[in-house]
Structure 1
């Protein structure tokens, strides 16, 4: 795999960042800075906190603009349509927290209780947490170095009082940065069902997804599958289908076949998706007859089934 050290010791190894195979790795300095250090006590605290969470899903993208946060939001909406399913959506895209806007929760604030931070609830069974709730204005820039970002991620995982949760969906920043390493490190002991990778059909996006796949394999993060967004557009008037982003190398389907990764589904373009996000509403209920809604629902069902088959060790027994 391109860019992956053949004998990567792993981010948690005492040789992380120090071995000969680490030379040239973009995360070498970060891994080396933590190698041999005393275990972070927050790891055990987070493991205890996560005992009340049955399934943990990371949503990743190799680059921005492919619809990752939109998918995270609608995955949460879709799962929460079952009133017996408790869903938590955690936005750790520290510098680009778009989840409050997409979920219609701009202006909401986080409250502190004796058991930790209380998430903002969109419904009785759908809670949301984002750094966007901590900013004085949606236009405020978050200008933080890596350690402060990682500290915020630690606080989100350790101090948010979600209660008993069936699905925790984590919307991550684009790329493979130290935030992603922190998430994997802090959640490793608790277990992660896996990652859902979001892409668009063109090769410039797929190239970055391949790097994301390399990252997942390097840190031993299971991959639930890939979702291809913006797959074609059917004109609502003439019904003619157009390829807005032509899949010059075969799109996500060819990539998944070559790399042995499940393709969870392909979601076509629909202008109402963007409008629904701007209004903070669920596209699934706003446009129930759209082909994109059908595609979303099929993907969500596949993720639910995959989580049932790959439940992390130590998680509560399944009831969803």
Structure 2
């Protein structure tokens, strides 16, 4: 093959390889200056050079495989060889600056003026299924074609990595990749997710996190400033139980956030949930609705199992409503063994069993809360394939 005959092939390989999407940043690698030498030799073998962002990138095998497949798919290419190198410090710094855009480092990117809808999911009381609701809501929103981020702020009782399938057999969550001072969140079910469980050392993975106010404040701040979520439509915050340090910090950093209150029908849970909504209002946030979890379950024989009572969600909504600011009950999620089992397996029910009654209610909740995606025409289901639903972390 002559040099002149190889030039069109090299351009075709460059275009094909450049369209490969980075698994974490979700951008074509051509836009990230990762492409290096691309050459086609006499026997139609494509030689492709790729510069990874960091040394020891855990997603290097996947990137190399995707690049190899893209090069081999070009008509006229008989074979491909991929060579991986690493960006130098100046190249990494330039990439970080380009990713941040006009936002300065260590600043909150979701404050006033942001086009991202921020929803803090709170309960006041632990054990009402708040994290399960949050994880499934995130996945349901992503399945509508929205760009979704999820921050696990329940530092002392984090469970989001497990619920999202972001743990190995030993229960360890992946460590996020850092590009200089920028943190890349792992992705599961098309949701960019971050949790304190991803930063614990291996030997500390099963230990409790015993932190006081200043450390908690710093963690929340770092999650909201140094984690690169990109351009999101929705950012969900899984809040801890109670009305302590983290609730106050989030109110200070994100006064524009809307608060979604989760309760069970039980009066004790309702009373505490209402208090969490009241505290949110004190920090300037708005209560956007109430979700009732563990609502009565209709049994196969038609009888109703009301393990935690009935009507708690409606009572919470009424208690949080006042003239000119009515709070609606946005969903009532029935008791569901499948919902529990799916959470234990790290496969959110809205993806694992969309026809389950709990999944139907969670999907309807997502429809009620979903903002219109910028530039999108249709907010219908994206029809995720099994490969799209596989958690990835680099």
Given the two structures, how large is their TM-score scaled by the length of structure 2?
0.62
Q: Do structure 1's residue 228 and structure 2's residue 289 form an aligned pair?
A: no
Aligned pairs for 1:283-298 (under 5 A) are 283-298=349-364
Asked whether the equivalents of residues 106 and 222 of structure 2 are also in contact (C-alpha less than 8 Å), the reply is: no
Give the equivalent residue in structure 2 for 1:149.
216
In structure 1, the residue corresponding to 2:358 is in which secondary structure?
helix
Change (3 A) 1:102 1:226: same
Give the equivalent residue in structure 1 for 2:248.
181
Q: Do structure 1's residue 140 and structure 2's residue 207 form an aligned pair?
A: yes
Aligned pairs for 1:183-262 (under 5 A) are 183-188=250-255, 191-192=256-257, 194-235=258-299, 237-247=300-310, 250-260=311-321, 261-262=327-328
In structure 2, the residue corresponding to 1:69 is in which secondary structure?
helix
Give the equivalent residue in structure 1 for 2:146.
85
In structure 1, the residue corresponding to 2:290 is in which secondary structure?
strand
Cα separation, 2, equivalents of 1:273 and 1:143: 30
Given the two structures, how large is their TM-score scaled by the length of structure 1?
0.76
**Which stretch shifts more, 280-289 or 48-57?**
48-57
Give the equivalent residue in structure 1 for 2:332.
266
Give the equivalent residue in structure 2 for 1:127.
192
In structure 2, the residue corresponding to 1:72 is in which secondary structure?
helix
- Deviating above 4 A after TM superposition, structure 1's stretches of 4 or more consecutive aligned residues are 47-53, 316-320
In structure 1, the residue corresponding to 2:331 is in which secondary structure?
strand
Cα separation, 2, equivalents of 1:243 and 1:49: 41
Asked whether the equivalents of residues 106 and 225 of structure 2 are also in contact (C-alpha less than 8 Å), the reply is: no
Cα separation, 2, equivalents of 1:114 and 1:212: 37
Give the equivalent residue in structure 1 for 2:119.
57
1:17-53 deviation line (CA, Å, top 9, x unaligned): xxxxxxxxxxxxxxxxxxxxxxxxx998214788765
Change (3 A) 1:171 1:43: farther
Cα separation, 1, equivalents of 2:142 and 2:180: 27
1:239-295 deviation line (CA, Å, top 9, x unaligned): 321110113xx4221332344211111000110111101100020132222221211
Aligned equivalent of 1:67, options 121, 124, 129:
129
CA positional deviation for 1:214: 1.7
Question: Which segments of 5 or more consecutive residues in structure 2 lack a partner in the other structure?
Answer: 1-103, 168-172, 322-326, 380-394
Asked whether the equivalents of residues 296 and 306 of structure 2 are also in contact (C-alpha less than 8 Å), the reply is: yes
Q: Do structure 1's residue 97 and structure 2's residue 158 form an aligned pair?
A: yes
RMSD after superposition: 2.3
Aligned residues: 262
Aligned equivalent of 2:365, options 299, 302, 305:
299
In structure 1, the residue corresponding to 2:236 is in which secondary structure?
strand
